[in-house]
């Protein structure tokens, strides 16, 4: 079985699956839930997904900040497949996707537990750690070379 990474459309059936995954892994453990307004605000974002056959294994969102910069957010990989390179492949695809669309930088807010992961992928810490959604985070950025 091979991993397929592809963008999906907001409000599609595949998008609904990403909401379920992100809710289970990222939101509910913190006592948070998506509001209709939060989901509607994702309409202008790029949604990147990882599939094995018809099974969603991972996803992330790329939010345009301006014509040159994206914010990567809501990165999630199913529990039993974490640590198997799916997140790395999602991010590599997202970086290529961003370059194809002429973006020059990706920024993100990483949870403290994910700092080594982003450093390994060439992201640079920016500023001081901060609290976001009740957890310690660090801002990161990566300049993309076209």
For 33-84, the pLDDT digits (tens) are: 999 999 999 999 999 999 999 999 999 999 999 999 999 999 999 999 999 9
Is residue 63 within 8 Å of 73, Cβ to Cβ? yes
For 80-112, the pLDDT digits (tens) are: 999 999 999 999 999 999 999 999 999 999 999
pTM of the predicted structure, to 2 decimals: 0.94
Which of 19, 66, 68 has the alpha carbon at shortest distance from 42? 19
- Strand 55-64 with 46-52, pairing: antiparallel
- For the chain, domains (ranges, CATH) are 3-104 (3.40.630.30)
């Amino acid at each position: 079985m091979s991993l397929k990474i592809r963008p999906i459309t907001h409000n599609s059936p595949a998008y609904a699956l990403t909401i379920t995954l992100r809710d289970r892994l990222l939101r509910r453990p913190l006592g948070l839930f998506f509001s209709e307004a939060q989901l509607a605000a994702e309409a202008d974002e790029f949604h990147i997904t990882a599939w094995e056959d018809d099974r969603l294994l991972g996803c992330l969102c790329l939010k345009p900040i301006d014509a040159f910069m994206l914010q990567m957010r809501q990165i999630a990989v199913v529990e039993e497949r974490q640590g198997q390179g799916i997140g790395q492949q999602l991010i590599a695809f997202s970086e290529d996707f961003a370059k194809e669309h002429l973006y020059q930088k990706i920024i993100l807010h990483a949870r403290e537990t994910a700092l080594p992961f982003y450093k390994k992928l060439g992201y640079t810490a920016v500023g001081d750690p901060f609290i976001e959604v009740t957890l310690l985070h660090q801002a990161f950025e990566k300049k993309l070379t076209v």
